[in-house]
Structures are given as structure tokens and as C-alpha cells.
Structure 1
């Protein structure tokens, strides 16, 4: 199996699980929401880190330009 087939197979399994989510046990629902929360927190932290890095880099450039003059 190549990487494309594996990815499609994994996405298909996830899609089947998501379709069965309304009929799932409470433990499965809880696990789904814990995983979803984890993914969202990681994405939020990544965005915040990138924003902070970009803001710091912009400030450094303007401070360096001002101090050189």
C-alpha cells in the first residue's frame, strides 16, 4: 500500500466513526470530545505562537532601524 491509499483508508475509517457518533456510547462521545479539544488547543497554541513570533520580529526590526539612525 502506498501513502495515498493509507491516508484514504484512514480517512474512510474516521468518516465511518463520525457517522456512527450520534448512536455512540457516552464513553465514546467523551473520548471524541477530549480528542477534539486537544486538537483545537494545539491549533490555537500554534496560531498564538506564530502571531507572537511575527509581532516580536516586527518590533525588533523597527527597534534596530531606529537605533541605527
Structure 2
């Protein structure tokens, strides 16, 4: 909290700037968890997609690059 005793706002602005700087420099624990989850999830999904494509090509099953349509 910033208390102003006289009309000098430099101290208050500096305090707010320091708070913003500290908040931007640190990561929330939820953000770290999301980063770890996406670091595992995305490569796994891509690997499954590549393996699936390879198996479908190897078995001769048709691969549709666009939706099947009506």
C-alpha cells in the first residue's frame, strides 16, 4: 500500500513499478505446471500422430488429408 503525505508521487510510482517488475519476473506455480505438462503432452501427441500415419501408410489404409465429406 502506498501512502502519500505530500504531493510527491515519485515514491508511489516507483513502488508500483517495482511491484510490476517483480510480478513479471517471477512465474506462478500454475504457469510452471502448465509449462511442464505442455513440454510432455505436445511431443507425445505429435509422436502418436506420426506413428499413426506411418502405420496407416504401411497397411495401405487410405489416408484422407481433408474431412470425408457428406
- TM-score category by the smaller chain? 0.3 to 0.5
With structure 1 as the length reference, what TM-score do the two structures score? 0.44
Larger Rg: 2
